[in-house]
Structure 1
């Protein structure tokens, strides 16, 4: 009998793997609805939906493997990373979906959230004030108007599967919607900055690198407390706190 592997689990949702089937358990039905809707719209490969019985969504496993993980070594050839960039460009060029996504929060909302998190990080002694202040300044470049694109919203490196130099699928679409395309690029290369040139070789021109770097800082500042409170370690080598230190 296949063993049950816990892929990720916290108080909001969990993903389990049993053989070649992934079971996503999410108490928020709207997130599952968004994921199913997004996968039907995107011009990139996604997992096949096997069945759906809220709060569970069953998906077929994708062939190949991921390009790495945050805090771990990056794998794959430059051509594989470029293929991921090309897939991301196709996504961002697709017709806009009907709903705003995680990457589409307003500048005012992001600014307020960022200010709150920075204050909490310093007040609670989570991070040194100088580190927070420096990254808050870097993050400022991301707080600007953008042209909406179809975004994944949580395009971590572990969400993109490749086989050789071909993208076989992108998973976890529950945060998808209209948003800032550079947020996706920054999330995908977070902690793997040395791969950004390879990604852009496939993605194409017209990318403001200062904004990508700003999103590295902004996303990391917003994530540190949540990760700590939900059993993850943003202080692990190569993870969010190291990303913030790199800006110093």
Structure 2
């Protein structure tokens, strides 16, 4: 073997490692996709690792290699859901835009999550409705600091006269309820509307109405003109 051949870098192991990583990522994604749906449909107690593995096209033993317990899988699913939700909450901290634009973007992002990730939204709602017995500490640890940060943004807007005085905490609670209902209660909506699923037009109409309601709640009433 020549010296140049000896010094030639070996690419095969690196390429094989990359393929293994891609395969692992795909397998984890497939597992999580099936897990969030089954947990949302059947609840934690009603779901089994074996059923999730079957839906993902794996053996139970293979699934347990990636997630050693059902609770570890459940927590990972909720981690992903909450992280995506908090990513949208972070939109409120944009000081470079006016309140109206920021709130519209936030409502739009929340409704998009309800449209694109309905199982995740429903699972999170089920956990919270049940008293968050398995995920409550994570919710407090992750959600509370960002909520306080967003409330501080509202208080800044109020102090600058950009919006009317408002209870920011309850305004955010209201926005969450309105936007998440399009995932959590979509079945009821579809029954009332006599259709199989909500359409993009339904979400566009909801976005406009919710945005208009929120902007009306923060509008500044002009000061009365002095008489005489």
TM-score (norm 1): 0.26
Q: Which has the higher contact order (CA 8 A, sep 6+)?
A: 1
More strand by share: 1
Bigger CA radius of gyration: 2
TM-score (norm 2): 0.27
